[in-house]
Structure 1
């Protein structure tokens, strides 16, 4: 009886963990959405910036997944896993800044804005 209870408890924790990480990925996509709308559907003279889709969406989604995994590892008390997920999150943030993945199309009012 006790073994079955432990198995059910592990299954519930696993499902909850998957839901937390999936929610992190969804949050990353939702955070990307305003940049995607502005970058893909054009700005000045209908110009599109496809790097927002090709680089921005994966970076933001993976960042959300890494944040969810770090949070889950922290809650479970697994410090090494949480540090690994935080390092991945920092690497993704560095990649995003280096390649300016959320840069939309140029502004319509020029450099004097």
Structure 2
């Protein structure tokens, strides 16, 4: 029982770290035109103090919540291996959806800083 609790804690930390990395990567990719001032030198620094914390803390939080929900829901319904695989699939799907959502959000936010031909 103690080994299961230790592995669950390790997996939870891995989920949080990977979620933070995905949030940071989505922010770095999507906010570049607004931070660098691609169009006429204008910049939007609210991308630093609004979107960056949202993506750095929101993505890991939502991913961890979905992982915990899947882990709790599926624990008694399937074997250990299937349970771990299903929880991993939920994490992967959540991260993919959140990365896409963050990218779309940032595309709308930096639309004013990008030339029409660059889209």
Change beyond 3 A, Cα 1:15–1:49: same
Q: Number of residue pairs matched?
A: 86
Structure having the higher helix fraction is 2
Tell me the TM-score normalized by structure 2. Answer: 0.59
Structure 1 unaligned regions, length at least 5: 1-5, 79-92
TM superposition score normalised by structure 1: 0.61
User: Which has the larger Rg?
Assistant: 1
Corresponding residue of 2:110: 104
Change (3 A) 1:77 1:47: same
| Distance in 2, Cα, partners of 1:36 & 1:108 | 11
Segments of structure 2 that go 5 or more residues without pairing to the other structure are 74-100
Q: Distance in 2 between matches of 1:70 and 1:25?
A: 14
CA RMSD of aligned residues (A): 2.7
Q: Per the alignment, do residues 74 and 108 of structure 1 end up closer, same or farther by CA in structure 2, a change over 3 Å counting?
A: closer
